[in-house]
Structures are given as C-alpha cells and as structure tokens.
Amino acid sequence: MSNENKEEPGTPELDAIKERKKIGRKLRILRKKLGYSSPDSFTYDKGFNRSQYGKYEAGSEDFRFSTLINLLNLHGLKLSEFFDESFEES
C-alpha cells in the first residue's frame, strides 16, 4: 500500500467550509476598516454585485480564485497580505 496520498503526521487537514467562513470574516473586517458599516454601501461604491458579496462575507457561497483576487483588489491587498497571521485569528 502506497503512502503517496497520505498526510504527514501532525499536518492539519483543511476544512473547506471553515476556511471559506474565515475568508468571509476577514472580508467583513476589512470592509469595516474602510469605514463601511454595511456590505451594501461598500459594493455600491466599489461596483461589485451586492448579493454575491454578501454571500462571500457570510461564507455561504463558494467562489473561484479569480473572484478572490477581484475581492482583494477592491481592498487594495495582495494575497500574502490577506493570508497573513491575522487570517488565522479571523
């Protein structure tokens, strides 16, 4: 039996739903830091789809990598800045 596909001992397994919810929480924190109390005003000012953005913040909608890049561009962030130490705390 091959061990090629097995995780190394001690390597945490990621849960897609939990990680998506963490991304949503971080997006909400970033929006509020920009002074937007609601997703509606943020998306209106930034020209992003309101209902989709709300789903991303809620962590209820899966999205593509290109969408994440577009969202980070709205916040003026690079991937490394978004997924910094504070990501794990969000």
- Which residues constitute the domain of residue 33? 16-89
Q: Is residue 10 part of a domain?
A: no
Identify the band that residue 35 occupies on the pLDDT scale cut at 50, 70 and 90.
very high
* Dist. CA 23–CA 63, nearest whole Å: 11
Q: Is residue 2 part of a domain?
A: no
Q: What is the pLDDT of residue 26?
A: 95
Q: Is residue 1 part of a domain?
A: no
Q: What is the pLDDT of residue 1?
A: 45
pTM exceeds 0.85 for this model: no
For 22-54, b/e burial (b = at least 16 CB within 10 A) is: bbbbbbbebbeeeebeebeebbeebebeeeebb
pLDDT, tens only, 17-34: 999 999 999 999 999 999
Read off the CATH number of the domain in which 67 is found: 1.10.260.40
Domain count, the chain: 1
pLDDT, tens only, 50-88: 999 999 999 999 989 999 999 999 889 999 999 988 887
